[in-house]
Structure 1
Amino acid sequence: MKIMIKGSITTALGLLLCMSGAKAEELKITKLRLTSQSPRNSIQLSSPKNHQSQPLSDAIIFLDKKLALAAKNQNNIVKQLNEKPNNSTTQNSAKDIASFLPVDTPVVSFISIKPEKWDNLTRFHLFHMAKQTILKFMPPNVSFNYARDIQSWLGEEIVFAFMPKVGNNPATMESTAVMVFPITNDMRVESFLNEVKKDKDKVKIREYQGATIFEIKTSTSAQPLPKKATKQPVISLPESLNKLKSRRQNNLAIATFPGYVVLGFDSKPLEKLIDTKNGKIANISAKPELQTLIQQHQAPEVLYSMYQNPVAYMLLLQDLIKDLAQDLPAELSSTLPLLGFDNINLEQLKAYKSINSYLRLQPEGMRFQAQAYMAKPTSKQKTSTLGTGVHSTVLRTLLFGSSYTEANPPKMGAPSEKQLKSAKKAVSRREQLMMSRMPAATYSAITGSNINLYWQALSRGFETIPEVKKGLADFRNFVRTTTGLDFDKDFIGWMDGEYGFFTFPTKGGLFKLFSPNANFGVGLIVKTSNRSVAENTLNKLEQLVKSSSNGEATIKNSDIKGKNITSWNDRTGSFSPFAYSWIEQDTLLLTTGFGAITDLVPKPYVQLSDTYNFTTATDSLPYPNQGYFYMNMGSSLSWIYGLIPQEYQKNEFFNIFKQTVGSIYSLSATISLTPETEQIDMLMVLAPTREKK
């Protein structure tokens, strides 16, 4: 079994055994070691450093011990050799497991552990380095053999889900989290459960609706395991994480019925799952969006799939964050409200039926995709559900671009062939204009349309938060007082066409002030339907700069191959922080100084749109779309490393980081629209595994 299959199992187990969101950080020192099945390289995990992190470790140690004992029991081995595979359970699928989950389940994750699906990961260097990095953080104390203790009885899919909350009771990890394991070897599971039963003082066994439930007190704190010597360095967690409070009960619940084992922290969510399996509660399997997800999950390249009910998920998330806050020290818990989830308008989320997301491999690397399914409201409902919340309105704006206004909501009917051709031509023209103005070595770029509309959506959304609303008002007043201009109208209002924002290498311009070797510039290309407003704003700013600088600043007009350049310079002309040029009648290029703009006008020597790195990062993304996000990891990391002092670059962990992140060629993303869905795609292009010489 390949190393990454082990990773999927142990990662999923780690998620389930996390006693709270706070304990996720603890996985850095307790996550199972991903190695081969030989005794020398067995899976290992560390014991926590203090009593406050004990509950998570106790659960893992308990399972580890029982799995190992079951495998070593000679009577069990003889029985297992004589047992034939349980054909009735080998065909268990994601669809079968979905029938155990209530119709209002907030989140369902499907993890494939088919060897053939994970084999292709080995061709990417990132995953080899990820394994090596994880091992650096794992001082060993406990070990078990993956192939012997898990692989031998597990099916092809495992499911991690959060069950619906009960009434008005706040949801917690204990009250909602479950994990479902289809099994192919009943005897292996029976051997494990026989070992569990031996701890009679810790285990309570009862029957429930035809299933057996084991309620287990997993505490092992009274008898800590002896430490083993290791040559690997021990990495300490930040002090704030060592202050995590321990208020959790050391409980584990296991339910068994033909073909399945279910794991949780408490028996209540397991009982609800069993009731659903027995038909007492409507199940989720008939939902069309979930059926679509399950169908796509079977594709050879899909590793992980997740279904979310947006409203139920947000309510769950809000509860889990509050639950998490009780475990954190004050300095960390006070930052949680900044995430802003409490400000989300749940009515706006009702515009979406579900969100499906996938993690899949493709020839270039790793692809993440999320699809939000629309509830198909009427035109009136479309307008009313848009609201002013930043999370909803901005998403709609991102997806519909400049065509969206509240008075003119997008039409959800299927577009005609003529409309599709027109849209593709418009996108193609935008890409050719924007990308042809960016240099090949561009660090990062974002393209889209109608910055003015983005700003309107953002400002309306932020005004629902009193503190931010006041900050916006103060900012607008400051701009008006200092410049005599209206920020919304004079600075943003004319930016109503396509745009491209990018960072790029250049030896001149604003950032030269901070370091002679900064080699960094920022550019913005904006298309406008109101050039006169843009020119009026620039002229007023230039007059303000000249009048307030006491002769220290000058405005200079230059000509570069027929293009007029306006730059703001110091009195000596040796430093220029800002420059611009009308590269087309309706298109303005703004950059951080004269030295920077000379690398871009009339056009870069080699254009971004012609590079292999950019085309590889974007060719497989949906088209037409609402624009791209793109980051060239090679050029970006090269610039970042140049800023880091040499003494830090000699650090062992910094070198591991460089090798790992350096295997990512590029990151890219786009947002696209179909009549039924709003979709985001993200692609990470990866370097192939390097052969040892």
Structure 2
Amino acid sequence: MPESKSKFLIAAVGAAVVVAGSIAAYTYFKAPSGGSSDALGSAKLVPSTALMATYITTDSQAWAKLQQFGTPEAQKLVAKGLENFNKQVFSDSNVSYEKDIKPWAGGVMIAVLPPNQGKPAQLKAPNAPINIQQESNILIIVGIKDKLSALNFANKLKSQKGLKFQESDYKGQKIIETTENSKPTYSVVLNNSHLVLAPEKQAVEKAIDTFKGESSFASKEGASSILNKGVDVKNSLAQIYVPDYAGMVQQLAAGSPQAKQLPPQALAQLKQIKSVVAGVGVDDAGVRVKAIANLDPQLNKFQYQSSPGNIVGQFPTGTFALISGNGISRGWETLVEESKNYPEMKQGLEQVRGQLKFFNIDLDKDIFGWMNGEFAFGAIPSNQGVLANVGFGGALVFDTSDRKTAEATLTKLDTLAKTQQIEIANRNIGGKDVTEWQIPRQGALLSHGWLDQDTVFVALGGPVAEAISDRKNPSLDNSDTFKAVTGSLQKPNGGYFYLDMDKTQTVPLLKSLISSDANAITILSSIRGLGFTANSPDKSISELEMLLALKPIAK
């Protein structure tokens, strides 16, 4: 059995043995455990040194919500995968997760402790380099919601072969060491309501110290508020808590021998983010992920501005992927300002500026300066001309208050194209004047034009320019799929990432990538689309939201 699966079994066995050894009376087993499965209760047993924690619910009602989605084929595939996983994990026993573990296991909290610096270096050979590997400590807290079921499970596992058990005492608490294939797992039951598991004994001892009164993750500065608030998602499946984002990254990087030391500039960037909390849930639209980053307003230099969302209406309903936003020029100014702290980045920008100056183009003014309004990039199906083999093209659309500079830049690019033996032609599409870069016998390679007084587009492929310019068909914002995928995302927001899964699978190039994987096709066919957006009400907070829109199962 693979090591990862073996460790999973070890943890389950260790849990059962601990439960059996720590509970004394049959009558007490019948008593309700009371609040043992909530995130805050588990966090009170996690040491305050923990870098992050994830709480996973075992509430069957929340997970059952997923069963309302997917095609019958996809549901069969998932069910078969879970069945095979159960057989592989418990291949050497007669244990069943559904029958033996699910009845008593409450919510699960997985905490990441700082890398263990006390492990000795391993020398493989006299002349071999010393491998100093600082491993992260994982601590698992499992709520016990049914003590009688837990006892029955423990008794069942006592007869399993190939397991070795050893007890030790730490501050009056019984620690069980369960060994299988020379791989130990340490466990203890605290307060008769929580099972604590870890691959390192030291982590279990620290949990006992916390239980005895040392500071906990629940009381840690930055953690208390995000634990109490969490993230508001329906039918929550998991919540993730990072009370000190910069500190976490710094410690994990320091514990990895492969990672380079973080430069002061990078650390300063990380310190903009104080804490992060995220949640995963299931609602009527599909699987939804929300994340909230608490920022330091004094360090946050980016000037966020919400996007009106009107530019989506410039794209045809056939658009299968789209990224939109607002104020590229402001983002560019922030990047230039930050580059002053990064010599390599600053040098790279200066090189690009110098190369463009050779063609009489100012990178800051001619390229980014006029991109001060809403923008969007969309992928649109097309099987004609230069796009015949690929199956799709792209279009960039910009709103600008500086049409004069934008027109001057496009004229410079047209002149540059002529020097490369590209033919420049003009034609009228849907009443709009469009300039095309044409390739003999293949049509337009690139096109650009104005959709109105303030909106300019640049399109790859003649058919894409026609789809953008000649608005005979409904626009993307009126399509049922776009509404289903993005309609429930938070508003106002800074723009969208949108993907129509059905249309994506019809694009020849993309279709060929998955055509040989029947399982991938089955799973993707149950997904309607993917939507993502972000919002920042003020400089102290940033909110992210993603929806994996799923198709409801046919009844």
Class of the TM-score when normalised by the shorter of the 2 chains: 0.7 to 0.9
Q: Which residue is 2:144 aligned to?
A: 183
Query: In terms of mean alpha carbon deviation, does 163-172 or 520-529 score higher?
Result: 163-172
What is the CA distance between 1:496 and its match in structure 2?
Answer: 1.5
Q: Which residue is 2:401 aligned to?
A: 529
The CA distance in 2 between the partners of 1:599 and 1:683, in whole Å, is: 28
Contact in 1 for aligned 2:276/2:291 (Cα 8 Å):
yes
What is the CA distance between 1:657 and its match in structure 2?
Answer: 0.7
What is the CA distance between 1:356 and its match in structure 2?
Answer: 0.7
Contact in 2 for aligned 1:90/1:183 (Cα 8 Å):
no
Q: Which residue is 1:659 aligned to?
A: 522
2:363 to 483, 487, 499: 487
Q: 1:105 is matched by which residue type in structure 2?
A: A
User: Residues 474-494 of structure 1, C-alpha deviation per residue, up to 9 Å, x if partnerless?
Assistant: 44433333x232223222222
Q: Which residue is 2:452 aligned to?
A: 584
What is the CA distance between 1:254 and its match in structure 2?
Answer: 0.8
1:638 to 487, 493, 506: 506
Q: Which residue is 2:465 aligned to?
A: 597
Contact in 1 for aligned 2:196/2:204 (Cα 8 Å):
yes
1:100 to 37, 45, 49: 45
Q: Which residue is 1:672 aligned to?
A: 535
2:246 to 311, 315, 321: 311
Contact in 1 for aligned 2:18/2:187 (Cα 8 Å):
no
TM-aligned CA distance change 1:89 to 1:599, over 3 Å: closer
Query: Which structure 1 segments of 5+ residues have no match?
Result: 1-46, 49-53, 74-78, 221-249, 326-335, 387-392, 402-422
Q: 1:671 is matched by which residue type in structure 2?
A: A
Contact in 1 for aligned 2:32/2:146 (Cα 8 Å):
no
What is the CA distance between 1:267 and its match in structure 2?
Answer: 1.6
TM-aligned CA distance change 1:509 to 1:343, over 3 Å: farther
What is the CA distance between 1:458 and its match in structure 2?
Answer: 4.1
TM-aligned CA distance change 1:465 to 1:664, over 3 Å: farther
The CA distance in 1 between the partners of 2:247 and 2:68, in whole Å, is: 39
Matched, 1:496 2:372: yes
1:543 to 402, 406, 415: 415
Q: Indicate the structure with greater helix content.
A: 1
Query: In terms of mean alpha carbon deviation, does 611-620 or 210-219 score higher?
Result: 210-219
Percent of paired sites with the same residue: 24
Matched, 1:158 2:122: no
TM-aligned CA distance change 1:147 to 1:658, over 3 Å: closer
1:213 is paired with a residue of what secondary structure? strand
Contact in 2 for aligned 1:568/1:577 (Cα 8 Å):
yes
By relative contact order (CA 8 Å, sep 6+), the higher-ranking structure is 2
Query: Which structure 2 segments of 5+ residues have no match?
Result: 121-131
1:608 to 472, 476, 479: 476
Q: Which residue is 1:4 aligned to?
A: none
Contact in 1 for aligned 2:231/2:278 (Cα 8 Å):
no
Contact in 2 for aligned 1:318/1:342 (Cα 8 Å):
no
TM-aligned CA distance change 1:213 to 1:189, over 3 Å: farther
Contact in 1 for aligned 2:505/2:511 (Cα 8 Å):
no
What is the CA distance between 1:462 and its match in structure 2?
Answer: 6.2
The CA distance in 2 between the partners of 1:300 and 1:490, in whole Å, is: 47
The CA distance in 2 between the partners of 1:342 and 1:132, in whole Å, is: 48
Contact in 2 for aligned 1:104/1:284 (Cα 8 Å):
no
Contact in 2 for aligned 1:122/1:128 (Cα 8 Å):
no
Matched, 1:109 2:54: yes
Q: 2:145 is matched by which residue type in structure 1?
A: T
The CA distance in 2 between the partners of 1:150 and 1:344, in whole Å, is: 48
TM-aligned CA distance change 1:453 to 1:127, over 3 Å: farther
What is the CA distance between 1:526 and its match in structure 2?
Answer: 0.8
Matched, 1:431 2:309: yes
TM-aligned CA distance change 1:274 to 1:594, over 3 Å: same
Matched, 1:684 2:553: no
| Cα RMSD, aligned residues only | 3.7
TM-aligned CA distance change 1:491 to 1:598, over 3 Å: same
TM-aligned CA distance change 1:449 to 1:69, over 3 Å: closer
Contact in 2 for aligned 1:174/1:265 (Cα 8 Å):
no
Matched, 1:555 2:442: no
Q: 1:146 is matched by which residue type in structure 2?
A: Y
The CA distance in 2 between the partners of 1:252 and 1:203, in whole Å, is: 10
2:528 is paired with a residue of what secondary structure? strand
TM-aligned CA distance change 1:152 to 1:559, over 3 Å: closer
The CA distance in 1 between the partners of 2:320 and 2:54, in whole Å, is: 35
The CA distance in 2 between the partners of 1:628 and 1:90, in whole Å, is: 39
What is the CA distance between 1:502 and its match in structure 2?
Answer: 0.7
Q: Which residue is 2:331 aligned to?
A: 454
User: Residues 394-425 of structure 1, C-alpha deviation per residue, up to 9 Å, x if partnerless?
Assistant: xx45xx03xxxxxxxxxxxxxxxxxxxxx7xx
1:66-465 aligned at under 5 Å gives the runs 84-89=29-34, 92-125=37-70, 129-133=77-81, 140=88, 141-143=91-93, 144-155=95-106, 157-164=107-114, 176-186=137-147, 189=150, 202-219=164-181, 250-257=183-190, 258-285=192-219, 290-296=224-230, 301-309=235-243, 310-319=245-254, 322=256, 345-375=266-296, 377=297, 382=298, 385-386=299-300, 396=302, 400-401=304-305, 427=307, 430-432=308-310, 434-458=311-335, 461=338
Would you say how many aligned residue pairs link Structure 1 and Structure 2?
531
TM superposition score normalised by structure 2: 0.84
User: Residues 349-408 of structure 1, C-alpha deviation per residue, up to 9 Å, x if partnerless?
Assistant: 334332110001111101001001234x5xxxx2xx24xxxxxx6xx45xx03xxxxxxx
The CA distance in 2 between the partners of 1:587 and 1:91, in whole Å, is: 57
What is the CA distance between 1:200 and its match in structure 2?
Answer: 12
User: Residues 149-195 of structure 1, C-alpha deviation per residue, up to 9 Å, x if partnerless?
Assistant: 2123223x221111345789999885521001121344555666676
Q: Which residue is 1:230 aligned to?
A: none
1:149 is paired with a residue of what secondary structure? helix
What is the CA distance between 1:634 and its match in structure 2?
Answer: 0.9
Q: Indicate the structure with greater strand content.
A: 2
Contact in 2 for aligned 1:526/1:587 (Cα 8 Å):
yes
1:345 is paired with a residue of what secondary structure? helix
Query: In terms of mean alpha carbon deviation, does 462-471 or 535-544 score higher?
Result: 462-471
Contact in 2 for aligned 1:111/1:303 (Cα 8 Å):
yes
The CA distance in 1 between the partners of 2:176 and 2:265, in whole Å, is: 39
TM-aligned CA distance change 1:252 to 1:460, over 3 Å: farther
Q: 1:488 is matched by which residue type in structure 2?
A: D
1:499 is paired with a residue of what secondary structure? strand
User: Residues 321-370 of structure 1, C-alpha deviation per residue, up to 9 Å, x if partnerless?
Assistant: x26x5xxxxxxxxxx77xx9778733343343321100011111010010
What is the CA distance between 1:636 and its match in structure 2?
Answer: 1.0
User: Residues 102-126 of structure 1, C-alpha deviation per residue, up to 9 Å, x if partnerless?
Assistant: 3453211111111122121111115
The CA distance in 2 between the partners of 1:355 and 1:683, in whole Å, is: 19
TM superposition score normalised by structure 1: 0.68
